Amino acid sequence: MNSAPAVSVIVPLYNKADTIERAVRSVLNQDHVSFEIVIVDDGSTDSSRAAVSSIGDPRVRVVLQANAGPGAARNTGASLANAPILAFLDADDEWKSNYLSAALDALDKNTAAVAYVCGYDAGAFRSQRPNKVVGLYPNAGLYLPPSKADGRVLKATVDAMHSSSVVVRKRAFDKAGGYFTEGGCRYGEDSWLWLRVLFLGSIYWDPSERTIFHVEDSDLGFATTSRKSARPISSFPSALSEGIDADYHAALGRATVRYAELDYDIMMRSGAIPAAGLLLRQHRIGGALRYIRHYARAVKYRILS
């Protein structure tokens, strides 16, 4: 390319030899052609790199790094991006051909928007992973941060911001601090970023399903039902609000409590009772009855262990 691309497409790659070509081809088949693809191989041990090499397109650049997790891989790609707009595509997902053109058109016409979010099609897993954008914003357009929403709505809003369905201005990504990476984080690194981006300014919401979310190929998130630790949103609530306008701190607090409630429940079911107890005290989740139930189970846990 003789000029800077309009958008940098960041693809984190770790042992996705069976799906990476599908993902990259879906970018190369876009009807908007001013893009670069930065694939960050996060220490793959399978034939993923060979699958990428077989594509042979000059717009595809591969960067190698030691395994550090998907958030760190995406951040590496963003740091190397040449475009003012970033689009993220997981190596097991794909885009419909009009995804980038719709996103860039929306951002071009709505200069106040910090990001574009569209709906996704989860195929056979639609009941477990529905297109949440439709329920939240049935009419495409620019919307201000939902500062008055309760914790459930705020979490649903962040859930709708699946990384493969978000295009964000690089300045907003940088201001938000990128994906959470502390401790090689592999769970909730994306919700941390998108919750912060949500409160940086208006977002253009498009209910159209322009992304194909291949839940069946996911190794993280949906596929994992046991958790021994909390997500970053629950673990580092004070850091979450850094750089966010004070008018939105109350909404961030409501979102944090909702995430903490969910993390507490799954940690208890997973047997991480002491860690769940710390989360309970940190956020003062629920009333006295919840504390009583927790400590009764904690006593039983100590006896059995």
Predicted confidence at residue 27, as pLDDT, reads 98
Digit-coded pLDDT (tens) for 121-136 = 999 999 989 999 999 9
pLDDT bucket at 47, cuts 50 / 70 / 90: very high
Report, as an integer, the average pLDDT of 64-70.
95
Do 27 and 65 fall into the same domain?
yes
Do 75 and 26 fall into the same domain?
yes
Number of domains, the chain? 2
In a domain, 41, yes or no: yes
Do 209 and 237 fall into the same domain?
no
How many CB atoms are located within 10 Å of the residue 201 CB? Answer: 17
Is residue 184 left, alpha or beta, with left meaning phi > 0 and alpha meaning psi from -120 to 50?
Answer: left
In a domain, 184, yes or no: yes
pTM (predicted TM-score):
0.92
Do 12 and 152 fall into the same domain?
yes
Higher pLDDT: 220 or 265? It is: 265
Do 18 and 80 fall into the same domain?
yes
User: What is the β-pairing status of strands 203-212 and 94-95?
Assistant: antiparallel
| Cβ–Cβ < 8 Å for 63, 80 | yes
In a domain, 227, yes or no: no
Provide the sign of the torsion angle of the four alpha carbons 199, 264, 121, 165, taken in this order.
positive
| Cβ–Cβ < 8 Å for 267, 228 | yes
In a domain, 224, yes or no: no
Do 204 and 283 fall into the same domain?
no
pLDDT bucket at 284, cuts 50 / 70 / 90: confident
pLDDT bucket at 304, cuts 50 / 70 / 90: very low
Q: Which residues sit opposite 95 in a β-bridge?
A: 211
**51: closest CA among 42, 59, 62?**
62
Predicted confidence at residue 223, as pLDDT, reads 56
Do 143 and 279 fall into the same domain?
no
- Residue 73 to residues 13, 24, 187, 247, 261: CA-CA distances in angstroms? 8, 16, 14, 32, 29
Out of 149, 183, 215, pick the residue that ends a domain: 215
Do 46 and 110 fall into the same domain?
yes
Predicted confidence at residue 206, as pLDDT, reads 98
In a domain, 55, yes or no: yes
Predicted confidence at residue 164, as pLDDT, reads 98
Digit-coded pLDDT (tens) for 244-268 = 999 999 999 999 999 999 999 899 8
- Cα 97 from Cα 105, distance rounded (Å): 14
Predicted confidence at residue 280, as pLDDT, reads 87
- Cα 98 from Cα 102, distance rounded (Å): 6
Do 246 and 146 fall into the same domain?
no
Do 203 and 248 fall into the same domain?
no
Predicted confidence at residue 179, as pLDDT, reads 98
Predicted confidence at residue 305, as pLDDT, reads 40
Report, as an integer, the average pLDDT of 62-66.
97
Report, as an integer, the average pLDDT of 300-305.
51
Q: Which range of residues forms the domain containing residue 203? A: 7-215
Do 204 and 164 fall into the same domain?
yes
CATH label of the domain that carries residue 139: 3.90.550.10
Mean pLDDT of the chain, nearest integer? 92
Report, as an integer, the average pLDDT of 37-50.
97
Do 24 and 164 fall into the same domain?
yes
